[in-house]
């Protein structure tokens, strides 16, 4: 036993920061010159940036800056007219929802998009759908993989339920849950897919301080424990600056700045945009 | 097997025969349009897909005939029947719409199916279920356009329908309520700012739809007699709506005409063509022509001819 | 009140995910099934078996089918009658042309499969349209299919009347179809189908496919982004739903009306089954049974009740009352309990579980 | 200290179905016995991830052996102390047995204590190792680690949040077990050999008692102590391997050690751990234990909840409930005790069982309870009768850490709500002249660890232990406890004053939560009363009385009126008992705040800290004894729910009460 010599109590902050840096790896996803138009309106205008493996990347910007549209392009819900998305060695122009899902891109939504008629457990189980392979007959008669998969994935889902501390609402229909818990269930559903890249669209919108703290903790834990890369849209600047490794700032659909929290904080264009200097 | 045209002893490729079929079809289409018009009014104002519109036609006609049989003068019958429709609007608003406000549209849709069933039973309970001939003095002679034989009552219906559409257009354009109804179709809040409670708007719009139903019921009743089968015919208004778009009054008219003419023409010419390859083909495609046409539209142009495109956002 | 759940805990997910996780419920359902399979055929009169139980069971199967499509997958359909007809006509065709050694259930299943195929075709528009738009599309199926089976005499082996009687078929020497069959074997034949199909429906509802349906129903966009493919999910719902309807249609022709006729599968049948699903409970297997029983038995009840009080009501009046009651019941349930009789049952059950506490 | 009579238990036959604890004389040996004889029966369950994960005796043995081997590799030696901190969970129970396998002594510590409170037992016991539940406990230990020179390694169960801690002395449970498994593969008999070295008189555990004053004392118990107590309790009640219990009380408490560990090993029965401390009631309902222990407070809370939930029921249901509960009160206890009851009453009771009692027991999770215990303080007679009347075999027992729990138990069929029962098997009881209760048994503790002074004060050389409680054996042979011996005082006129006795009588009223009685060396008895916010609040709601705070509700005249009637009822009771008739309550006031452990007014086990309160509320007490004062004021610091501090300033009314004249004395009648 090596004893008293190394018994410094508490955590050494530098060790943690170093570990974080070590965890961030190569580029996982690169958005290349994306332009998205609705009718004549350009929601996104030639934006490029990348997301590295293991990092927490935030997309910030004023309302209507095209942040949600950006996430929608990344996971294929919107198909941009121009540009392409390079992801894990392949170029997609555009990305399709099914490509995104099968490649491990999961997301949560700004306005909660849970399956209201189902329980918490079932909602999270839907996140496992791509991993279930039982045939129709096996499901219909609940034998073979039809049964074994249900149990196997239930175990996985229970881990998530435990992780998110939502044991007590396991069998409650999600429609009856308060807002903060619904957000948590939605995160659980996304996690159930064991995503490589997790897109979080305003995970803390409408939450009180305590709920925000909980959610921040979950996001950090997800990033650290599962090594999940996270792309985050959030309005609370304090949260963003604390959580993110790097930020992308969008304004009126264009890229305004890209860099570490410190760099972005000092960027004049960003300060102008946030202070509402008139555009012309 | 002989074709319908040969049975009738005419040459199907005779121009006048074609005109006759086309006009007959268009006239049937006017009837569909009248029912569809009621649907559109309600849908525009409240996003309720009123499945009961067809039954309202029957119900209105039953009331009208019932009053007429009591020996009441025609004009008074009309007013009485209209009164019943307004009363019905009140009841529907109070009992069905108000409790279901903010429910999914599909629930309201199913509720109107409930209304349809209820009214069917209720109407026949009041007035009996036998077929009732209806004669309000609409001429039912025929006249000839060139060599094509045209029913006078068809022409009459066309005229009435035209008048009705113009009247509605004026109502929507030049009255305060009409403008409110148009506003509510776009934005419920806007309608409130005009100062008319939503509940009143519903009652008014259902009453207007009731009025349209009454007119349609009298037209159809004069032609076919007032009977249960009216509701089945009224189902044809559904494909009309798909073609015309749910929110478009002109769409309802044009859709009705296309379907009316299309099903009559296809019954003659399409069946004829098929029977030349497959003689045992029995025809009667009129039963489904409208629906399959609508289906084709749904797959290739879901918003209909005049409807607006729907964009989904997350 | 009758529940004793203390100590009935689950030590494995297999136990927690059983079809009926509460032992009390399990015993109750087993008792009901045993009663239906053993006691009912012994004590049931011909009237009860042939005129009530057989049609209620068959309609339950159809309601299960529509519930899969509408209740679970959220796709409204008014074409149930058409899909039932598809099953009935195709199974007639198979039954009258198949070699003798083929078992009786083969034509029924083939009828179901044929209906499933038709369902897929008419389900295709569901990829682009929803709600009442889809309802209109399914109406097309209803009218077109009924017309089709009358227009193509091949289905009825070119029978002159167009309304042929269904042939008698037997299992182990007991006739189970057609007019000459005894009520008991016929009833058991139908019951067997009902039980198996109900179990299958329940299994699907708690498996991946059921969750995919419900996900599409509740939030189709989110479902798609999770990786649920709308195409496959909706078409599978149409196919499986139509399969159930097809089997129900075949049984209706072979075991209840003993003939194949289009009027049995008219638009009114479609509505009847839709009402069963709404009143019974959308998205509930139990609801399909409760709804079928309610809708089918109510007219019988209305016909008999006045007589108990010495009243004589004309048949058409009773029909009108029936319409009004149905219409009223649908509106009532949509407003008061959108999840239908099944939810009422559920609430009663919860009350009993918490007894004597109110909640 | 001599001269009085010695009371003993009636002899009961040895239990043939239990293992011979003279042969299997340590818990690790019992573990081997159980694994060999009932290896496939469940030993432990834990609600986790939505299901009750279950381990058989065989699995438990394998797990403990591996864990022990792993810990041995970490350096655990015979005689070491191993601290255990955490909520009830199987791995911590296994830690107890693991330590005993290796000849180390487990030191369980109250898991809800703050770091400072944990420090004493860890440093006093010189624990070299700690096995803890999760990040919360790890953090606590890390914060005091500097002052724990003996502590070498910490093993944690749940890795969440701890995974990235850099300290090299932190070990994950799984890693230790994995290491142990490797070692056992190479040396399969290593742990068996260690177990064989153990014997009955080795120390088995050191629970620390939570003293009301001073530092806690470590009570050193041998295997013989704990095992005889567990064995005697088990054969007294006929416990079997098929029994199940729910372990939810602190592991550090001796009761839990006997009920959830000792008796489980002796009988081979199954112990289940709840999902978390918040879900105990739900888990209780699911599990439906057959053997259940709860402090009176918990039974009281459950009963209050039952009554409140029934308020919401419809009229018919409420009427039915009342009717059958009345009937149960009439005959329920007699039926449970096997006394003669008329056929009609039995039929009515059976009907009640179907409609009320059965379902009620079911929703509470008591359907299967064969034996229920309550102890720690006196239970309200109404509460006690309620549970017994609906057919739950609830009993009181009297015991202490020094006795390895059992001193007296109420035998079946001899349950009286005012006594704590007859001496437990192998226990001898004697009443000292001062009124103090003394006992002697094979389960009497060895010594206070590293504290010979205290040992000498408590335990006589011939093995008698001072309980510190005053009491007497009544003519039925049952022990009746009046109060703490040191708390029993005298009024100025010489009358015996037993504050706890008076307080408990008052606390039996649902509206009263807490009472502090004064009277020692005073002219009369007076008291502070805390109303029960839940019960009184509920009453206020039904009567449309609005209130903004506890303080406001307490000051309400109607509330005062109700409490006054309760106090007068108690006075009438006291008047009927010769020994205490003189100590009727003359005046009382309702405190403006709840007595709270965070303010130091209660102990962590919710016992009143009399002297602290006397000091803090000094102004109020003097007002109670100032005949001219009609109000009393207080100014003091309080702690809010969220931990913030604040100042409380309040003035409350004092109410005089009616007392009953007692023969030979003239009671002062209130004007």
DSSP string, C17-34: TSSS-SHHHHHHHHHHHH
Range of the domain at B124: 4-129+139-300
Model pLDDT for residues B76-105, shown as the tens digit of each residue = 999 999 999 999 999 999 999 888 887 877
Tell me the C-alpha distance between B288 and B294, whole Å: 10
Task: Report yes or no: A113 at the B interface, CB cutoff 8 Å.
Answer: yes
Chains touching A, CB cut-off 8 Å, 3+ pairs = B, C, D
Q: What's the gap in Å between the CA of B189 and the closest CA on chain C?
A: 24
Q: Which token pair is D24? A: 């299997």
Inter-chain touch A38–B311, beta carbons under 8 Å: yes
Q: What's the gap in Å between the CA of A158 and the closest CA on chain D?
A: 5
Range of the domain at A253: 25-104+195-280
Contacts (Cβ under 8 Å, ≥6 apart) of C304: none
Complex prediction ipTM = 0.81
Inter-chain touch A113–B311, beta carbons under 8 Å: no
Q: Which token pair is D490? A: 């005298």
Range of the domain at C169: 47-354
* Helix (H), strand (E) at residue D237: helix D223-237
Residue A109 within any structural domain of the chain:
no
Among residues B213, B226, B222, the alpha carbon closest in space to that of B151 is found at B222
Model pLDDT for residues C97-126, shown as the tens digit of each residue = 988 778 889 999 999 999 999 999 999 888
> Beta-strand (E) ranges in B67-172?
142-145, 148-151
Inter-chain touch D145–A225, beta carbons under 8 Å: no
Task: Report yes or no: A110 at the B interface, CB cutoff 8 Å.
Answer: yes
Residues of A in contact with B103 (CB under 8 A): none
Ordered alpha helix ranges (H), A93-178 = 97-102, 120-126, 136-140, 145-163
Among residues D293, D294, D288, the alpha carbon closest in space to that of D242 is found at D288
Query: Do residues A205 and A265 both lie within one domain?
Result: yes
Tell me the C-alpha distance between D297 and C10, whole Å: 29
Phi and psi dihedrals of D548, rounded to 5? Answer: -100, -25
Dihedral sign for Cα A268, A270, A271, A275, please.
positive
Q: How many helices (H) and strands (E) are present in chain A, helices listed first? A: 11, 10
Residue C118 within any structural domain of the chain:
yes
Place of tokens 């129970």: D93
Q: Could you tell me which chain A residue has the CA closest to the CA of C225?
A: A97
Tell me the C-alpha distance between B249 and B44, whole Å: 9
Inter-chain touch A154–C214, beta carbons under 8 Å: no
Task: Report yes or no: D115 at the A interface, CB cutoff 8 Å.
Answer: no
Contacts (Cβ under 8 Å, ≥6 apart) of B137: B74
Report helix, strand or coil for D421: coil
* pLDDT (0 to 100) of residue D671: 33
- Per the CB < 8 A criterion, the answer to whether A235 and A47 are in contact is no
* Helix (H), strand (E) at residue C84: helix C80-97
Number of Cβ pairs < 8 A linking chain A and chain D: 54
Query: Do residues A134 and A90 both lie within one domain?
Result: no
Residues of B in contact with A111 (CB under 8 A): 314
Task: Report yes or no: A183 at the C interface, CB cutoff 8 Å.
Answer: no
Inter-chain touch B105–C132, beta carbons under 8 Å: yes
State the 10-residue block means of pLDDT for chain C, 359 residues long: 85 89 92 95 91 96 97 93 96 90 90 96 85 83 91 85 86 86 93 97 95 94 91 95 97 94 92 92 94 92 81 80 90 89 92 87
Domain count, chain C: 1
Biggest CA-to-CA distance, chain D: 86
What is the pLDDT confidence band of residue B186, given thresholds at 50, 70 and 90? Answer: low
Inter-chain touch D168–A2, beta carbons under 8 Å: yes
Inter-chain touch C359–D287, beta carbons under 8 Å: no
Inter-chain touch C203–A142, beta carbons under 8 Å: yes
* pLDDT (0 to 100) of residue B4: 55
Q: Concatenated DSSP letters for D367-388?
A: TT-SEEEE-SSPPPHHHHHHHH
User: Could you give the angle at the alpha carbon of A146 between the alpha carbons of A143 and A147, nearest 5°?
Assistant: 65
Task: Report yes or no: D312 at the C interface, CB cutoff 8 Å.
Answer: yes
Contacts (Cβ under 8 Å, ≥6 apart) of D214: none
Residues of D in contact with A15 (CB under 8 A): 166
Residue B310 within any structural domain of the chain:
no
Task: Report yes or no: D49 at the A interface, CB cutoff 8 Å.
Answer: yes
Contacts (Cβ under 8 Å, ≥6 apart) of C330: B110, B111, B113, B114, B117, C275, C278, C279
* pLDDT (0 to 100) of residue D141: 95
Residues of D in contact with C355 (CB under 8 A): 359, 363
Tell me the C-alpha distance between D477 and D6, whole Å: 11
Residue A29 within any structural domain of the chain:
yes
**Chains A and C contact (Cβ–Cβ under 8 Å for 3 or more pairs):** yes
Residue C57 within any structural domain of the chain:
yes
- Between strands D465-473 and D436-440, the pairing is antiparallel
Task: Report yes or no: C140 at the B interface, CB cutoff 8 Å.
Answer: yes
Chain C residues near any Cβ of chain A (below 8 Å): 12-14, 16-17, 19, 199-200, 203-204, 206-209, 211-212, 214-215, 217-219, 221-229, 236, 283
Q: What is the mean pLDDT of chain D?
A: 89
Residues of A in contact with D49 (CB under 8 A): 155, 158-159, 161-162
Residue B285 within any structural domain of the chain:
yes
Contacts (Cβ under 8 Å, ≥6 apart) of D475: none
Contacts (Cβ under 8 Å, ≥6 apart) of C108: C87, C91, C193, C247, C250, C251, C254
* pLDDT (0 to 100) of residue B313: 41
Q: Which residues of D121-135 are buried (b: 16+ CB within 10 A; e: fewer)?
A: bbebbbbbbbbbbbb
Query: Do residues A91 and A229 both lie within one domain?
Result: yes
Query: Do residues A146 and A278 both lie within one domain?
Result: no
Considering only the beta carbons, identify the residue of C13, C14, C225 that sits closest to A107.
C225
Q: Could you tell me which chain C residue has the CA closest to the CA of D353?
A: C1
| Boundary (domain end) residue, out of A172, A193, A214 | A193
Inter-chain touch C208–A116, beta carbons under 8 Å: no
Query: Do residues A37 and A71 both lie within one domain?
Result: yes
Q: Which token pair is A78? A: 């919107």
Query: Do residues A160 and A225 both lie within one domain?
Result: no
* pLDDT (0 to 100) of residue B284: 77
Q: Which token pair is D413? A: 């069929």
Distances, alpha carbon D655 to alpha carbons A204, D48, D619, D629, D659, in Å: 54, 52, 16, 10, 13
* Protein fold of D21-223: Rossmann fold (3.40.50)
| Boundary (domain end) residue, out of A167, A193, A219 | A193
What is the pLDDT confidence band of residue A238, given thresholds at 50, 70 and 90? Answer: confident
Task: Report yes or no: D314 at the C interface, CB cutoff 8 Å.
Answer: yes
- Per the CB < 8 A criterion, the answer to whether A160 and A154 are in contact is no
Model pLDDT for residues D238-294, shown as the tens digit of each residue = 999 999 999 999 999 999 999 999 999 999 999 999 988 888 988 999 999 999 999
Number of Cβ pairs < 8 A linking chain B and chain C: 141
How many Cβ atoms are within 10 Å of C280's Cβ, its own excluded?
A: 31
DSSP conformational letter for D353: I
Residues of D in contact with C15 (CB under 8 A): 51
* pLDDT (0 to 100) of residue C246: 97
Considering only the beta carbons, identify the residue of A1, A6, A159 that sits closest to D75.
A1
Residue B167: CA atoms inside 13 Å, Cβ hemisphere, count? 11
What is the pLDDT confidence band of residue A11, given thresholds at 50, 70 and 90? Answer: very low
Distances, alpha carbon A201 to alpha carbons A186, A223, A261, A274, in Å: 11, 16, 19, 20
Task: Report yes or no: D281 at the A interface, CB cutoff 8 Å.
Answer: no
Tell me the C-alpha distance between C332 and C324, whole Å: 12
**Chains B and D contact (Cβ–Cβ under 8 Å for 3 or more pairs):** no
Residues of chain D with pLDDT below 50 are: 1-3, 664-671
* pLDDT (0 to 100) of residue A6: 37
Report helix, strand or coil for D617: coil
> Beta-strand (E) ranges in chain C?
170-171, 174-175
* pLDDT (0 to 100) of residue A276: 56
- Per the CB < 8 A criterion, the answer to whether B138 and B69 are in contact is no
Contacts (Cβ under 8 Å, ≥6 apart) of B104: none
Ordered alpha helix ranges (H), D617-666 = 618-624
DSSP conformational letter for D202: S
Among residues A77, A70, A65, the alpha carbon closest in space to that of A34 is found at A70
Residue B177 or D586, more confident: D586
Domain spans of chain D, in order of start: 21-223, 296-367+369-484, 489-656
Model pLDDT for residues B285-299, shown as the tens digit of each residue = 888 888 888 888 877
- Per the CB < 8 A criterion, the answer to whether C203 and C196 are in contact is no
Strand partners, D371: D291
Among residues A177, A158, A180, the alpha carbon closest in space to that of A169 is found at A177
Number of Cβ pairs < 8 A linking chain C and chain D: 75
Domain count, chain B: 1
Q: What's the gap in Å between the CA of C19 and the closest CA on chain A?
A: 10
Domain of residue C152, CATH code? 1.10.3470
- Per the CB < 8 A criterion, the answer to whether C103 and C259 are in contact is no
Task: Report yes or no: D48 at the A interface, CB cutoff 8 Å.
Answer: yes
Query: Do residues A182 and A210 both lie within one domain?
Result: no
Residues of D in contact with C4 (CB under 8 A): 358, 362, 367
Q: Which token pair is D287? A: 């599990």
* Helix (H), strand (E) at residue B12: none
Domain count, chain A: 2
* pLDDT (0 to 100) of residue A17: 56
Q: Which token pair is D591? A: 């405190």
* pLDDT (0 to 100) of residue C308: 81
Task: Report yes or no: A13 at the D interface, CB cutoff 8 Å.
Answer: no
Residues of A in contact with D153 (CB under 8 A): 1
Domain of residue B171, CATH code? 1.10.3470
What is chain B's length?
314
Whether pLDDT at A278 is above 70: no
Inter-chain touch B99–C139, beta carbons under 8 Å: no
Residue B162 or D290, more confident: D290
Residue C239: CA atoms inside 13 Å, Cβ hemisphere, count? 12
Inter-chain touch A117–C218, beta carbons under 8 Å: yes
Task: Report yes or no: A111 at the C interface, CB cutoff 8 Å.
Answer: no
Q: What's the gap in Å between the CA of D378 and the closest CA on chain C?
A: 28
Tell me the C-alpha distance between D388 and D336, whole Å: 7
CATH C-level class of D489-656: alpha beta
Task: Report yes or no: A129 at the C interface, CB cutoff 8 Å.
Answer: yes
Residue B180 within any structural domain of the chain:
yes
Inter-chain touch A38–B314, beta carbons under 8 Å: no
Say how far residue C256 (Cα) sits from the centre of its chain: 15
Inter-chain touch A6–D142, beta carbons under 8 Å: no
Among residues B132, B156, B158, B152, the alpha carbon closest in space to that of B140 is found at B152
Residue C88 within any structural domain of the chain:
yes
> Beta-strand (E) ranges in D207-263?
208-209, 217-222, 244-246
Task: Report yes or no: D313 at the C interface, CB cutoff 8 Å.
Answer: yes
Bond from prior residue into A94 cis (ω within 30 degrees of 0): yes
* pLDDT (0 to 100) of residue A8: 38
Report helix, strand or coil for D43: strand
In CATH terms, D296-367+369-484 corresponds, of 3.40.50.12780, 3.10.129.10, 3.20.10.10, 3.40.50.720, to 3.40.50.12780
Considering only the beta carbons, identify the residue of D48, D143, D161 that sits closest to A9.
D143
What is chain C's length?
359
Domain of residue A43, CATH code? 3.40.50.300
Inter-chain touch B314–A77, beta carbons under 8 Å: yes
Residues of C in contact with A76 (CB under 8 A): 225
* D21-223 and D489-656 share one fold: no
Inter-chain touch C136–B239, beta carbons under 8 Å: yes
Contacts (Cβ under 8 Å, ≥6 apart) of A171: A119, A120, A121
């Amino acid at each position: 036993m090596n004893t008293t010599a190394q018994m410094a109590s508490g955590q050494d902050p530098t060790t943690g920061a170093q570990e974080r840096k070590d965890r961030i790896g190569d580029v996982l996803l690169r958005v290349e010159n994306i332009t998205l138009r609705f009718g004549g309106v350009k929601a996104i205008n030639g934006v490029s940036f990348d997301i590295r493996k293991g990092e927490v990347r935030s997309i910030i910007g004023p309302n209507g800056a095209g942040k949600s549209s950006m996430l929608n392009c990344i996971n294929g819900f919107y198909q941009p007219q121009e540009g392409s998305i390079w992801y894990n060695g392949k170029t997609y122009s555009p990305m399709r929802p099914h490509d995104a899902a099968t490649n491990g891109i999961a997301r949560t939504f700004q306005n909660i998009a849970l399956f209201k008629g189902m329980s918490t457990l079932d909602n999270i189980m839907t996140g496992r759908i791509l991993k279930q392979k039982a045939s129709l007959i096996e499901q219909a008669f609940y034998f073979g993989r039809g049964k074994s998969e249900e149990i196997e994935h239930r175990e996985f889902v229970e881990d998530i339920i435990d992780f998110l501390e939502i044991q007590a609402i396991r069998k409650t229909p999600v429609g009856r849950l308060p807002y903060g818990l619904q957000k948590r269930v939605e995160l659980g559903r996304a996690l159930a897919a064991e995503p490589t890249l997790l897109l979080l669209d305003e995970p803390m919108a409408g939450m009180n301080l305590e709920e925000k703290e909980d959610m921040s903790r979950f996001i950090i834990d997800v990033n650290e424990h599962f090594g999940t890369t996270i792309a985050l849209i959030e309005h609370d600047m304090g949260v963003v600056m604390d959580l993110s490794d790097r930020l992308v700032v969008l304004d009126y659909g264009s890229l305004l700045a890209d860099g570490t929290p410190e760099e972005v904080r000092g960027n004049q264009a960003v300060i102008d945009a946030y202070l509402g200097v008139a555009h012309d | 097997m002989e074709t319908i045209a040969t049975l009738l002893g005419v040459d199907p490729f005779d121009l006048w025969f074609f005109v006759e079929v086309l006009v007959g079809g268009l006239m049937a289409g006017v009837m569909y349009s009248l029912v569809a018009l009621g649907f559109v009014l309600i849908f525009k104002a409240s996003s309720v897909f009123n499945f009961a519109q067809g039954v309202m036609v029957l119900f209105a006609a039953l009331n009208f005939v019932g009053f007429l049989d009591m020996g009441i003068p025609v004009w008074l019958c009309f007013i009485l029947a209209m009164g019943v429709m307004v009363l019905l609007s009140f009841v529907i608003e109070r009992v069905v719409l108000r409790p279901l406000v903010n429910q999914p549209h599909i629930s309201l849709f199913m509720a109107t199916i409930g209304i349809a069933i209820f009214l069917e039973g209720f109407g026949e309970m009041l007035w009996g279920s036998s077929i009732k001939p209806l004669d309000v003095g609409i001429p039912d002679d025929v006249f000839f356009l060139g060599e094509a034989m045209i029913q006078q009552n068809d022409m009459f219906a066309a005229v009435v329908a035209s008048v009705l559409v113009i009247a509605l257009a004026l109502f929507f354009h030049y009255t305060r309520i009409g403008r409110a109804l148009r506003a509510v179709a776009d934005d419920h809040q806007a309608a409130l700012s005009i100062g008319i409670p939503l509940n009143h708007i519903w009652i008014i719009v259902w009453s207007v739809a009731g009025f349209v139903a009454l007119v349609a019921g009298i037209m159809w009743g004069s032609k076919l007699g007032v009977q249960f089968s009216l509701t089945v015919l009224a189902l044809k208004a559904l494909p009309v709506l798909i073609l015309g778009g749910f929110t478009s009054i002109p769409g309802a008219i044009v859709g009705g005409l296309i379907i009316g003419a299309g099903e009559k023409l296809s019954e003659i010419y399409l069946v004829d063509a098929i029977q030349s390859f497959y003689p045992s083909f029995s025809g009667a495609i009129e039963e489904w022509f409208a629906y399959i046409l609508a289906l084709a539209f749904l797959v290739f142009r879901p918003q209909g001819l005049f409807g607006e495109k729907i964009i989904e956002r997350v | 009140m009758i529940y004793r759940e203390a100590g009935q805990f689950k030590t494995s997910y297999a136990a927690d995910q059983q079809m009926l996780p509460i032992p009390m419920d399990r015993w109750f359902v087993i008792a009901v099934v045993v009663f239906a399979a053993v006691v009912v055929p012994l004590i049931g009169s011909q009237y009860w078996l042939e005129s009530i139980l057989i049609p209620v069971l068959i309609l339950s199967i159809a309601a299960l089918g529509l519930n899969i499509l509408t209740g679970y997958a959220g796709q409204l359909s008014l074409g149930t009658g058409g899909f039932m007809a598809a099953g009935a006509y195709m199974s007639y065709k198979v039954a009258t042309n198949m070699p003798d050694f083929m078992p009786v259930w083969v034509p029924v299943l083939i009828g179901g499969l044929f209906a499933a195929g038709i369902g897929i075709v008419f389900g295709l528009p569901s990829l682009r349209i929803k709600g009442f738009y889809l309802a209109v599309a399914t109406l097309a199926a209803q009218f077109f299919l009924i017309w089709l089976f009358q227009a193509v005499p091949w289905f009825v082996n070119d029978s002159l009347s167009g309304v042929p009687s269904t042939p008698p078929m037997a299992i182990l020497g007991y006739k189970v179809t057609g007019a000459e069959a005894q009520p008991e074997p016929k009833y058991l034949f139908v019951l067997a189908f009902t039980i198996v199909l109900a179990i299958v429906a329940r299994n699907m509802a708690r498996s991946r496919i059921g969750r995919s349906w419900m996900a599409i129903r509740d939030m189709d966009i989110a479902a798609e982004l999770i990786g649920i493919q709308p195409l496959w999910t909706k078409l599978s719902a149409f196919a499986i739903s139509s399969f159930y309807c097809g089997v129900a249609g075949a049984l209706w022709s072979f075991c209840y009306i003993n003939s194949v006729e289009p009027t049995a599968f008219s638009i009114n049948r479609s509505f009847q089954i839709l009402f069963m699903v709404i009143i019974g409970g959308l998205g509930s297997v139990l609801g399909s049974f409760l709804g079928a029983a309610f809708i089918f038995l109510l007219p019988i009840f209305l016909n008999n009740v006045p007589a108990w009080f010495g009243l004589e009501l004309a048949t058409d009046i009773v029909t009108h009352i029936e319409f009004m009651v149905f219409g009223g019941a649908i509106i009532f349930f949509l407003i008061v309990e959108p999840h239908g009789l099944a939810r009422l049952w559920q609430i009663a059950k919860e009350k009993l579980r918490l007894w004597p506490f109110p909640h | 200290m001599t001269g009085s009579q010695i009371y003993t238990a009636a002899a009961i036959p040895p239990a043939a179905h239990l293992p011979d604890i003279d042969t299997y004389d340590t818990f690790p040996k019992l573990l081997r016995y159980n694994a060999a004889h009932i290896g496939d029966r469940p030993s432990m369950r834990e609600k986790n991830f939505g299901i009750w994960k279950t381990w058989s005796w065989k699995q438990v043995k394998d797990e403990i052996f591996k864990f022990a081997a792993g810990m041995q590799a970490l350096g655990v030696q015979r005689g070491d102390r191993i601290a255990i901190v955490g909520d009830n969970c199987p791995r911590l129970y296994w830690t107890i047995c693991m330590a005993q396998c290796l000849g180390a002594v487990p030191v369980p510590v109250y898991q809800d204590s703050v770091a400072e409170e944990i420090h004493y037992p860890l440093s006093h016991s010189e624990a070299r190792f700690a096995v803890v539940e999760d990040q919360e406990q790890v953090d606590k230990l890390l914060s005091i680690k500097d002052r724990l020179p003996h502590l070498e390694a910490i093993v944690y169960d749940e890795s969440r949040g701890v995974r990235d801690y850099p300290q090299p002395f932190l070990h994950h449970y799984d890693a230790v077990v994995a290491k142990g498994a490797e070692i056992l593969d190479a040396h399969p008999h290593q742990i068996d050999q260690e177990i064989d070295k153990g014997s009955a008189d080795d120390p088995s555990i050191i629970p620390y008692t939570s003293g009301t004053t001073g530092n806690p004392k470590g009570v050193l118990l041998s295997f013989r102590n704990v095992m005889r107590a567990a064995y005697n309790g088990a054969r007294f009640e006929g416990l079997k391997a098929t029994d199940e219990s729910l372990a939810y009380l602190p592991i550090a408490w001796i009761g839990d050690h006997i009920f959830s560990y000792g008796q489980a090993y002796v009988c081979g029965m199954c112990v289940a751990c709840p999902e978390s401390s918040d879900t105990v009631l739900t888990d209780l309902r699911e599990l439906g234990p057959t053997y259940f222990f709860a402090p009176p407070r918990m039974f009281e809370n459950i009963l209050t909840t039952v009554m409140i939930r029934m308020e919401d029921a419809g009229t018919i249901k409420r009427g039915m409930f009342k009717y059958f509960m009345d009937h149960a009160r009439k005959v329920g206890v007699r039926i449970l005790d096997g006394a003669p009851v008329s056929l009609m009453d039995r039929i009515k009771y059976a009907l009640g069982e179907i409609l009320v009692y059965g379902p009620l027991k079911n929703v509470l999770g008591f359907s299967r309870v064969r034996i229920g215990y309550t102890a720690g303080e006196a239970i309200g007679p109404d509460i006690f009768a309620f549970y017994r009347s609906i057919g739950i075999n609830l009993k009181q027992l009297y015991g202490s850490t020094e006795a390895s729990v059992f001193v007296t138990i109420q035998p079946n069929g001899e349950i009286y709500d005012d006594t704590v029962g007859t001496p437990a098997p192998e226990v001898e009881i004697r009443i000292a002249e001062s009124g103090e209760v003394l006992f002697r048994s094979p389960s009497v503790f060895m010594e206070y660890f590293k504290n010979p002074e205290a040992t000498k004060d408590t335990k006589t050389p011939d093995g008698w232990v001072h309980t510190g409680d005053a009491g007497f054996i009544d003519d039925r042979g049952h022990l009746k406890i009046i109060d703490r011996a040191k708390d029993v005082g005298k009024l100025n006129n010489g009358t015996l004053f037993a504050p706890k006795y008076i307080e408990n009588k008052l606390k039996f009223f649902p509206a009263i939560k807490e009472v502090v009685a004064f009277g020692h060396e005073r002219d009369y008895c007076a008291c502070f009363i805390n109303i029960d916010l839940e019960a009184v609040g509920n009453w206020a709601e039904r009567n449309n009385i609005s209130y903004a705070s506890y303080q406001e509700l307490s000051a309400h005249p109607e509330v005062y009126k109700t409490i006054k009637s309760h106090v007068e009822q108690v006075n009438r009771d006291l008047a009927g008992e010769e020994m205490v008739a003189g100590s009727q309550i003359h005046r009382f006031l309702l405190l403006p705040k709840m007595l709270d452990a965070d303010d130091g007014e209660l102990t962590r086990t919710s016992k009143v800290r009399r002297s602290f309160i006397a000091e803090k509320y000094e102004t109020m007490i003097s007002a109670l004894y100032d005949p001219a004062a009609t109000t009393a004021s207080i100014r003091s610091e309080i702690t809010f729910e969220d931990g913030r501090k604040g100042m409380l300033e309040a003035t409350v009314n004092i109410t005089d009460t009616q007392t009953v004249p007692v023969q030979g004395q003239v009671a002062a009648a209130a004007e």
